[in-house]
Amino acid sequence: MRMGEQRNQSIPEILLVDDDPSAVHMMARVLAAEGTLRFATSGPDALALARSVRPDLILLDAEMPGMSGLEVCAALKADPVLQDIPVIFVSSHRDEAFEVAGFAAGAADFIGKPYVPQLVTVRVRSQLRSKRMADELRRHATTDALTGVANRRLLDEVLGREWLRAYRSGSPLALVLVDIDHFKLFNDHYGHPAGDACLRAVAGALHGSCMRPADLAARYGGEEFALLLPDTDRKGAENVAKRLLESVALLMIPHLASPLAPWVTVSAGIACHDASSGGSVPPHSRARSVEREDAVQLVQVADVALYRAKTGGRAQVCVVDVREKETGELYGDEAASMTSKRRSG
């Protein structure tokens, strides 16, 4: 399943949540010029929509039937995907006890009913400005300085999150590890400045292979990169990896020191987790709540696939299903030696 179209990052997304449709429309008129507005009239609907669009700000009615605003806010802050979204409570409550409870649940601010439109606009702009600054700081902290793609820190964070989502929903997940063939020989022959330029070019090809907003290209370390593909099955991941190999070859970066080809090539190893094909997480793993370990398992399987691609001749794609790891087929001499042998270039 492919995700929706990429959203314009310069236009903020604001989610308005109130069980009274007329109140939603009144607030929408006030905030029409502040961003793209989305609406929900219940707590569960608000959580579902927030997970779908990941808004930049949520204005939340505190007194909703069923799931209260406080409960919705607490659920948002408990979700790693949503916890950084600022929440402004809209409430007729004015007592200190309610505000204390709201801040304890994770609220960023309060707007009283009946509200003053100018005050609403000022508070919303203030929260959106703070969110933009936080996002920019986070972007710098999670971007590889040399290549401009995501760094290992962000990859680990998103991988854990996407594995948990796949674990809960049964959707497929693929991880592609990519290694530049004979990169040490490239550096020795052309020098490190040329090596840096090569890394940037390959990173650009990797980023160009990301066809959807959910796809993530990252530098894994050294001359190794990763491509995380949510909602992507084995065939889809193979298509992406083959397209990447072709893109790198079309760069025609000279590599006269390579015994493989006169230009730079890459190898790719793919790990696939697809519950629909029987590759689900074992029940005993769920009972022990080892979601993070299972995400690491996906990396280990991709590592084996990349090792097989390189020992099989390089400049090719190899796919390994997570089920091989679960049944013990990846262990033995191969698993023991893959890291040291593969890192030789």
Q: Which candidate, 268, 273, 230, 231, places its Cα nearest to that of 249? A: 268
In one-letter notation, the amino acid at residue 329 is E
Q: How far apart are CA 265 and CA 247, in angstroms?
A: 10
Out of 13, 162, 223, 238, which one is annotated catalytic? 223
**Six-digit token string for 31:** 């905030």
**Six-digit token string for 314:** 């390089």
In one-letter notation, the amino acid at residue 310 is K
Q: Which candidate, 132, 121, 135, places its Cα nearest to that of 34? A: 121
CA 145, 148, 154, 159 dihedral sign is: negative
For this structure, is 223 an active site residue? yes
Contact predicate 64/19, CB 8 Å: yes
Within 10 angstroms of residue 45's Cβ, the number of other Cβ atoms is 15
Q: How far apart are CA 268 and CA 175, in angstroms?
A: 10
Active-site residue set: 223
